[in-house]
């Protein structure tokens, strides 16, 4: 086949870079950083070369800001290379190395599309896999724990219900087979098709299906059927030692550990960065591929060519159209193709101007590609942003580069294509438009009281009501639930019941019964002389309504108050109505140990993980079913709430659920920091930042912060502080301690944070930290393991079994997607 040379415009240090249509050797003198970038093809195509060249300043600024050490950019259109350049350095340590166009990168999740999706679609083309085939038809053990209905399509679109990954901190296993076994033991977090959750598990399962159907190892299949035919000669899993000098290193890690910590650390170079893929032997469907910009250019040309590059066909045109068209369920906010990203929170590399209908993918290490079938343009931006310390960020850079490239295009197709209604000349109408919810104004959460009010309080008509509530019981528009029910026609409000902190939510002590000034109704305290409603309190009541804002933690006492109310109501044939509210920290993540049934108390009503991932209404259903309470229970469900929403994404006004729960940051860390406050530790009560800081007079803050930062916990950092609580533990005493900075609440595992803090305090201050009292909320088993010197990562691994059991148990009581 003919070789095609794209020669850069002439500069004094001009170097030729080659991208060929057939297998070729890399250039003997690779193009270095600073080499010319604009090609003759760009000039001939009428590209705004000045605008296109402005990407240099953007990339160089990212390098100067230490967001990436270097980068390789290739922009192509059809068969032509428009722009190609290497920037900065591919290695900073142990010694600097310049970035070159032929640098080989750890592609991370770009593996999902360049290898796995393409391999699956080859087998779909051949009729050997159907998108609606159940995964269990290929991997029989996978069908247990409610996974029998998950299909190949669900895996490809990340709506399988599986969690994002296996536990990255579990360093106890090795082998491809063990990863598949563990995937088979997973319990879904939601029903297939209900929610988009980006999951690596999905894609290493897909690779396993490819291997089983094709009868050859996955890496051999993609090499034989994709890379070799396309002339992608430097694209491979587990690259040979001969290529090591040109591979961009990632970061220092122990051979298998994650986060990168522990002894025997080495700079990963030619060894996959992703810990699960590393433990699988370097070959996996979600990560592990290494490649160059030149090889990926050939791949992009194949896809934009309708599945063919020159005379080599990899996929049928319709297979390409299928995988690059929206495939997630209609109405879902996150829009994915089969494997490919179209319009989700991961789509930063689309930039601001490429139209809907374009598609691409990113990789954790800093790699990305994006293709637009309308303009026949592709953008490949490869960085090793995790080098050398894992702190870089290529996300803003990807967006800026893609926007500049798109703005430099001067020859555009017709309007219908720009609307995304035509792919490569093929009409597909509305299928090219990213689905949106029908009424954005309506996509704002309505609490149970709002739904009840909109229905005219119908289910309470003719009832004599007792209301369990506090200051958090209020409508979206601000009116108190007390006032709304008191004014409701044909509803008799008889009495009020207050939980911990009282009816106004301002007390941090036992609460006395009293009278409501506005309505004149009695307020019966359920956090004082009794925690259960008595016969006297329930006199003249036939329906108990519960409206409380929970915070998503097992030990938050509103949960137990509701449980006790349900028990006492069932004994007396009194109906219970729960007006549901959001779990402010979301309803997806589950984390932490359960407690033994012998440890059940007012701060542990039911044996469940610390972060339970349910709403109060869903918990009421579970308590009623699993504890066989027998209550006549009705849940007034919310409208327009999604399980993956944090409270600040609901449009609702934050009202402190308790005096020290003052904002979403405090709520996000509470399941961890709150879990250890039974010990001799201040968790910031009596300061302006409760739960965001902790300390004691006997703590060395700088030492503790440094120790916690060495643990490299995802989504969180620590710095030393001093503070003097005005009240609560260590009131008016100067405390040294640590402030918790939440850098990524979605990645942070707050219960693990609490465990790490307790473990560090026990190791560093063994005679002063009262570790036994941590067991009050964490449970005795966790304290036992800490006392034995077990590493916190190992302790957290011990939670996995009960977390999985909880996912399975709770699934039948969930009411929201």
Q: What is the pLDDT of residue 288?
A: 97
SS (H, E, C) 642-673: CCCCCHHHCCCCCCCCCCCCCCHHHHHHHHHH
Q: What is the distance between the alpha carbons of residues 140 and 340, in angstroms, rounded to a whole number?
A: 27
Q: For residues 179-193, give the mean pLDDT.
A: 91
Query: Does residue 493 contact residue 485 with C-beta atoms inside 8 Å?
Result: yes
Structure confidence by residue, pLDDT tens digits, 417-429: 444 434 444 333 3
Q: For the segment 115-170, what is each residue's pLDDT rounded down to a tens digit?
A: 999 999 999 999 999 999 999 999 999 998 889 999 999 999 999 999 999 987 77
Sign of the CA dihedral with 712 first, then 715, 721, and 727 last = negative
Name the percent of the chain lying above pLDDT 90: 73
Residue 2 has pLDDT above 70, yes or no: no
- Among the residue ranges 104-113, 540-549, 635-644, the one predicted with the least confidence is 635-644
| Model pLDDT, residue 812 | 87
Q: Identify the pLDDT of residue 532.
A: 96
**Edge-to-edge strand ranges of the sheet holding 693-696:** 693-696, 735-742, 716-723
The pLDDT of 13-41, averaged and rounded, is 39
Tell me if residue 509 falls in helix, strand or coil: coil
533 pLDDT higher than 90: yes
Residue 510: predicted pLDDT: 67
Section 598-617 average pLDDT: 95
248 band by pLDDT with thresholds 50, 70 and 90: very high
Flag whether pLDDT at 434 surpasses 50.
no
> Any idea of the CA torsion for 490, 495, 498, 499, to the nearest 10 degrees?
-80
pLDDT score, position 705:
97
Lowest mean pLDDT among 231-240, 593-602, 616-625: 593-602
| Cβ atoms < 10 Å from Cβ of 442 | 10
Q: From CA 637, how far away is CA 640, in angstroms rounded?
A: 10
Q: What is the pTM of this model?
A: 0.56
**pLDDT at position 54 over 90:** yes
Q: Is the dihedral of CA 171, 173, 179, 181 positive or negative?
A: negative
Q: Which of 244, 468, 430 is nearest to 326 (CA)?
A: 430
- Quick one: average pLDDT of 407-416? 63
Q: pLDDT of 261-275, one tens digit each?
A: 455 567 899 999 999
Q: What is the pLDDT of residue 557?
A: 93
Tell whether the model's pLDDT for residue 430 goes beyond 70.
no
Q: pLDDT tens, 271-325?
A: 999 999 999 999 999 999 999 999 999 999 999 999 999 999 999 999 999 999 9
* pLDDT score for 10: 24
Mean residue pLDDT of the chain comes to 87
Which range has the top average pLDDT, 258-267, 405-414, 702-711? Answer: 702-711
DSSP-derived 3-state class of residue 128: coil
> How many C-beta atoms lie closer than 10 Å to residue 455's C-beta?
11
CA 781 to chain centre: 29
The pLDDT assigned to 356 comes to 74
In angstroms, rounded to a whole number, what is the distance separating the alpha carbons of residues 375 and 379?
12
Please give the pLDDT value at position 26: 34
- How far is it, in rounded angstroms, from Cα 423 to Cα 429? 10
- Average pLDDT, stretch 744-757? 94
Given a cut of 80, whether residue 202 has pLDDT beyond it is: yes
- Give per-residue pLDDT as tens, 493-507: 999 999 987 787 555
pLDDT at position 12 is 25
Is the pLDDT at 82 greater than 70? The verdict is yes
**Least confident range of 43-47, 116-120, 186-190, 566-570:** 43-47
Band the pLDDT of 8: cuts 50, 70, 90: very low
Mean pLDDT, range 221-231, rounded to an integer: 97
Across 207-216, 643-652, 792-801, the highest mean pLDDT is recorded for 207-216
- Mean pLDDT, residues 742-759 taken together: 94
Q: Give the pLDDT score at 606.
A: 96
Instruction: Kindly indicate the confidence band of residue 632, based on its pLDDT and cuts at 50, 70 and 90.
Output: very high
Q: What is the mean pLDDT of residues 65-80?
A: 94
**CA torsion sign, 547 to 510 to 724 to 775?**
negative
What pLDDT is recorded for position 252?
A: 74
């Amino acid at each position: 086949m003919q070789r095609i040379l794209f020669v850069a415009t002439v500069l004094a240090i001009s170097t030729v870079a080659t991208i060929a249509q057939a297998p070729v050797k890399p250039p003997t003198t690779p193009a270095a950083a600073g080499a010319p970038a604009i090609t003759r093809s760009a000039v001939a195509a009428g590209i705004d070369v000045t605008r296109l060249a402005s990407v240099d300043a953007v990339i160089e600024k990212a390098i100067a800001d230490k967001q990436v050490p270097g980068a390789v950019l290739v922009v192509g259109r059809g068969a032509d290379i428009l722009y190609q350049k290497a920037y900065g350095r591919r290695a900073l340590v142990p010694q600097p190395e310049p970035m070159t166009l032929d640098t080989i990168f750890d592609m991370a999740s770009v593996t999902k599309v360049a290898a796995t999706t393409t391999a699956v679609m080859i087998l779909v083309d051949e009729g050997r896999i159907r998108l609606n085939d159940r995964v269990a038809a290929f991997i029989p053990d996978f069908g247990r724990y409610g996974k029998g209905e998950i299909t190949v399509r669900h895996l490809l679109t990340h709506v399988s219900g599986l969690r994002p990954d296996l536990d990255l901190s579990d360093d106890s296993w090795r082998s491809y087979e063990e990863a598949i076994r563990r995937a088979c033991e997973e319990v879904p977090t939601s029903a297939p098709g209900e929610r988009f959750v980006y999951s690596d598990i999905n894609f290493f399962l897909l690779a396993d299906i490819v291997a089983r159907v094709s009868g050859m190892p996955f890496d051999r299949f993609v090499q034989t059927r994709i890379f070799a035919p396309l002339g992608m000669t430097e694209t491979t899993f587990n690259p040979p030692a001969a290529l090591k000098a040109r591979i961009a290193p990632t970061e220092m890690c122990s051979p298998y550990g994650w986060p990168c910590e522990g002894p025997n650390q080495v700079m990963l170079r030619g060894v996959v960065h992703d810990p699960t893929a590393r433990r699988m032997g370097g070959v996996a469907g979600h990560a592990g591929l290494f490649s160059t910009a030149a090889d990926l250019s050939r791949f992009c040309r194949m896809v934009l060519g309708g599945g063919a590059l020159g005379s080599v066909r990899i996929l049928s045109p319709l297979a390409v159209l299928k995988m690059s068209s929206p495939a997630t369920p209609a109405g879902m906010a996150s829009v994915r193709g089969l494997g490919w990203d179209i319009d989700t929170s991961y789509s930063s590399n689309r930039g601001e101007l490429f139209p809907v209908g374009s598609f691409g993918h990113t990789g954790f290490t800093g790699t990305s590609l994006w293709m637009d079938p309308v303009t026949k343009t592709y953008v490949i931006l490869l960085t090793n942003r995790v080098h050398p310390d894992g702190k870089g960020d290529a996300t803003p850079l990807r967006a800026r580069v893609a926007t500049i490239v798109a703005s430099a295009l001067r020859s555009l197709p017709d309007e219908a294509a720009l609307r995304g209604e035509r792919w490569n000349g093929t009409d597909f109408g509305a299928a090219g438009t990213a689905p949106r919810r029908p009424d954005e104004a309506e996509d704002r959460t309505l609490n149970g009281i709002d739904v009840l009010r909109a229905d005219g309080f119908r289910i309470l008509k003719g009832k004599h009501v007792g209301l369990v509530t506090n200051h958090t019981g209020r409508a979206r528009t601000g009116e108190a639930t007390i006032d709304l029910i008191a004014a409701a026609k044909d509803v008799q409000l008889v009495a009020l019941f207050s939980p911990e902190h009282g009816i106004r939510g301002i007390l941090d002590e036992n609460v006395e019964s009293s009278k409501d000034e506005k309505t004149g109704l009695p307020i019966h305290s359920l956090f004082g002389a009794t925690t259960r409603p008595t016969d006297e309190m329930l006199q003249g009541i036939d329906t108990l309504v519960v409206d409380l804002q929970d915070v998503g933690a097992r030990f938050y006492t509103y949960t137990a108050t509701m449980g006790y109310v349900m028990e006492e109501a069932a004994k007396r044939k009194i109906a219970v109505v729960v007006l549901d509210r959001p779990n402010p920290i979301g309803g997806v993540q589950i984390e932490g140990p359960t407690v033994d049934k012998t440890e059940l108390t007012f701060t542990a009503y039911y044996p469940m993980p610390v972060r339970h991932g349910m709403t109060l209404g869903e918990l009421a259903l579970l308590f009623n079913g699993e504890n066989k309470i027998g209550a006549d229970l009705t849940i007034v469900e919310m409208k327009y709430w999604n399980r993956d929403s944090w409270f600040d994404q609901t449009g609702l006004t934050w009202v402190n659920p308790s005096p020290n729960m003052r904002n979403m940051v405090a709520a996000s860390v509470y399941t961890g920091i709150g879990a250890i406050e039974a010990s001799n530790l201040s968790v910031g009560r009596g300061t302006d930042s409760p739960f965001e800081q902790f300390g004691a007079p006997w703590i060395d803050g700088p030492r503790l912060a440094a120790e916690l930062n060495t643990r490299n916990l995802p989504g969180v950092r620590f710095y030393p502080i001093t503070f003097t609580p005005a009240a609560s533990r260590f009131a008016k005493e100067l405390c040294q301690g640590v402030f918790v900075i939440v850098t990524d609440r979605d990645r942070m595992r707050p219960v693990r944070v609490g465990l790490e803090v307790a473990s560090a305090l026990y190791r560093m201050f063994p005679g002063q930290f009262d570790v036994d009292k941590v067991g009050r909320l964490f449970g005795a088993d966790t304290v036992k393991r800490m006392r034995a010197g077990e590493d916190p990562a190992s302790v957290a691994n011990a939670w996995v079994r009960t977390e999985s059991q909880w996912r399975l148990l709770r699934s039948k009581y969930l009411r929201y997607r």
